[in-house]
Amino acid sequence: MRGQFRNRIRGILGLILCVAVLIIVRLYFVQIVDGDDYARKADRQFASGANGLYDRGSIFFTRKDGTRISAATLVTGFLVAINPQTIQDPESVYTAISAVASTTISKDDFLAAVAKKNQVYVEVAHKVPQEAGKALADKKMAGVQVLRERWRYYPGNTLAAQAIGIVSYGSGTELSGQTGLESVYDGVLSRTGQGLYKNFFAQLFSNIGDMVVDARDTREGDIVTTIEPEVETRLAEELARVHAQYKSKETGGIIMNPATGEIIAMASVPTYNANDLRSVEPAVLSNPHVERVYEFGSVVKALTMASGLDAGVITPETTYNDTGCITVNKFQVCNWDLKARGVIPMKQVIMQSLNVGASWISDRLGQDRFRTYFTKLFGEKTGIDQPAEGRALLANLSTTQQVNFNTASFGQGIAVTPVRMVRALGALANGGVMVQPHLVSAIRLKTGVEKKIDWNQTVPVFSATAVHDTAAMMTEMVDEKLDHGNAKIPTMSVAAKTGTAQLTDGHGGYYKNRYFHSFTGFFPSYAPRFIILLYTNDPQGVQYASETLNKTFLSLVHFLIDYYAIPPDRGTNVANT
């Protein structure tokens, strides 16, 4: 019995030893016999160049139906590196590499790299596509390494480039967001740690805390923007056409939901292709809507009108005597055509864009009230999620010279950023309340949880009655004056105002024949879905904004009505017109 038991133990021991021997033999084959093959396979699968595989969160556009389209993502390919010590035929190696990789360094630089015999690793080509990289690797050229690489890719190329931003090394050794949303949300988009390459057992034995709760998962993720790609494309195309036609210095536009502050489209020209920064001027990388200030001109008259109505110093029926020109503090303030209109009602200030009328309203308001309204409208940052938001130039309103207030009433002598202007004008389209313009609606964390961002900081400025009356004047302007009344859409009320401001000459005065054109509008007039602000700086061979931006604005209005199927808000019983 005892013998039997002993034999069984020996048998089990023998079995265990056999299994151990089998495993050791298998290990020998894997590690020694096939080791090189596995190393190469592993290399091609996940080994990277000197800096490791790049990882970063994505940025998404949001289509009108909620579908997300990447604005910034990652693509995988290869980089090519050489070992100068083992390269045998530099000429043929260069020919083979440059045939598959358009980003290969020049032949002179390549040969210079090959000559550096004290080095073992020199990168010579980046962003090599998958198939091309595999084909090059299969050639097994001595001294040539084909390694995995991942890089930032912008599927839209130039689409919303300045708003999305770029990543680069900056002054450090890590790739990080430098401009736009890439910069503002760098903490969310950056990846620390190994990401998907976690080894469960290694983590279990070394860092069990992270296995249970990883603090990075509550911070790192992707960002979802409010930009609609098809609207953005349309806006960009329209602006490019205006810019080319009038050879402007710069042209831009913003389309925003005035009730929520969501920016549906934000484009400017010149722009850049974020996938190819090799010959981009650094000045183009910044977002002009946020960083640059302009004197917007007569679009500000709508805000002056709303201020006067809100303060109760005028009503829509108030009249004044328009003499064509007035003299204030020894300066002449004149209408655009220098003509007098006689006694006219308030709405003509908007419909005919009369500087004298706007000045009259600012006089009625008084300096203190005018300053209060305009400081409320433009004095504070919008808080938009873009870096380096510029400040408004309102210093003229801190003086007591009346001419400064008169000129400010029609948008000259004060300068603001386009995003501040669209926020202020948005109050006319939102019951008198300014909202917070923003580009990102939510952060989608790595855990899958979607965190909505709260953008509910509002600033009430005007009464609902004041903005309603102002919108009525702007609507009548479109129906009767714009394009001689041909712009009217019988089934849709559209409110708009043009602006033509003289450009400053840098010496305290203005050019006589160089202008900044602006155009703003919202529709439907009394429950607006969208507000549009357009501008073009220094267009050549043309004087008035109605000549440059009229067609663009109307084209965008019709596009938005069709694209979003906005139902009519008037004239549903209309017969032939």
Partner 1 sequence: MYNVRALSYAPTTLALSFIAFLAVVYIGLLAVVMSYAASTVAFSQSVRNSEAAVASLEARYLSKVAEITNLDYHALGYEKPGDRNYVSGVRATALR
**Is 27:20 a contact under the CB 8 Å cutoff?**
no
Cβ 387 to partner 1 shortest distance, Å: 25
The rounded distance, in Å, linking the Cα atoms of 525 and 135 is: 60
List 138, 173, 200, 283, residue binding partner 1 (CB under 8 A): 200
List 1, 50, 208, 213, residue binding partner 1 (CB under 8 A): 1
What φ, ψ does residue 460 adopt, rounded to 5°?
-75, 130
List 43, 48, 74, 191, residue binding partner 1 (CB under 8 A): 74
Count of all residues that appear for the chain in the document: 577
**From its phi and psi, is residue 262 left (phi > 0), alpha (psi between -120 and 50) or beta?**
beta
Q: Which two structure tokens, joined as six digits, stand for 235?
A: 């806006």
167 contacts partner 1 (rule: CB under 8 A): no
- Residue keyed to tokens 């080994």: 47
List 7, 8, 11, 17, residue binding partner 1 (CB under 8 A): 17
**Is 281:347 a contact under the CB 8 Å cutoff?**
no
491 contacts partner 1 (rule: CB under 8 A): yes
**Is 49:127 a contact under the CB 8 Å cutoff?**
no
Helix (H, G, I), strand (E, B) or coil at 532: strand
276 vs 337 by CB, closer to partner 1: 276
Cβ 32 to partner 1 shortest distance, Å: 15
Buried b / exposed e across 241-255, counting CB within 10 Å, b at 16+?
ebbebbebbbbbbbb
**Is 377:427 a contact under the CB 8 Å cutoff?**
yes
229 vs 258 by CB, closer to partner 1: 229
Cβ 131 to partner 1 shortest distance, Å: 12
* Partners of 344 in beta bridges: 320
Size of residue set near partner 1 by CB under 8 A: 51
DSSP class of residue 415 equals: B
19 contacts partner 1 (rule: CB under 8 A): yes
Scan residues 110-139 and list those touching partner 1 (CB under 8 A): 130
Helix (H, G, I), strand (E, B) or coil at 206: helix
27 vs 115 by CB, closer to partner 1: 27
Q: Which of 349, 364, 373 is nearest to 474 (CA)?
A: 349
List 43, 69, 272, 336, residue binding partner 1 (CB under 8 A): 69
Q: Which two structure tokens, joined as six digits, stand for 211?
A: 């296995």
576 contacts partner 1 (rule: CB under 8 A): yes
List 25, 39, 42, 453, residue binding partner 1 (CB under 8 A): 42
63 vs 514 by CB, closer to partner 1: 63
Residue 365, classified by CB atoms within 10 Å of its CB into exposed (0-12), middle (13-18) or buried (19+), is: buried
Q: Which stretch binds partner 1 (CB under 8 A): 191-199, 349-357, 519-527, 534-542?
A: 191-199
6 contacts partner 1 (rule: CB under 8 A): yes
Task: Lay out the site mask for partner 1 across 75-94 (x = CB under 8 A, - = otherwise).
Answer: xxx-----------------
Task: Lay out the site mask for partner 1 across 234-253 (x = CB under 8 A, - = otherwise).
Answer: x--x----------------
210 contacts partner 1 (rule: CB under 8 A): no
Query: How big, in percent rounded to 5, are the helix, strand and coil portions of the chain?
Result: 40, 25, 35
Please report, for residues 97, 111, 210, 477, the alpha-carbon distance to residue 116 in angstroms, rounded to integers and kept in the order given: 19, 9, 44, 72
The rounded distance, in Å, linking the Cα atoms of 400 and 406 is: 11
Cβ 154 to partner 1 shortest distance, Å: 9
Q: Which stretch binds partner 1 (CB under 8 A): 14-22, 183-191, 335-343, 520-528?
A: 14-22
> Which helix (H) or strand (E) element contains residue 327?
strand 325-328
Cβ 564 to partner 1 shortest distance, Å: 16
395 contacts partner 1 (rule: CB under 8 A): no
The rounded distance, in Å, linking the Cα atoms of 96 and 329 is: 76
150 vs 219 by CB, closer to partner 1: 150
Scan residues 541-560 and list those touching partner 1 (CB under 8 A): none
List 157, 327, 332, 458, residue binding partner 1 (CB under 8 A): 157
Q: Which stretch binds partner 1 (CB under 8 A): 181-189, 266-274, 367-375, 568-576?
A: 568-576
DSSP class of residue 70 equals: E
List 48, 176, 233, 401, residue binding partner 1 (CB under 8 A): 233
DSSP class of residue 192 equals: -
Q: Which two structure tokens, joined as six digits, stand for 525?
A: 């007039």
The rounded distance, in Å, linking the Cα atoms of 87 and 170 is: 33
Cβ 77 to partner 1 shortest distance, Å: 8
572 contacts partner 1 (rule: CB under 8 A): yes
Q: Which two structure tokens, joined as six digits, stand for 560?
A: 């938005």
Contact residues for partner 1, defined by CB under 8 A: 1-2, 6, 9, 13, 16-17, 19-20, 23-24, 27, 42, 45-46, 69-70, 73-77, 130, 150, 153, 155-157, 159, 195-202, 229-230, 233-234, 237, 490-491, 571-577
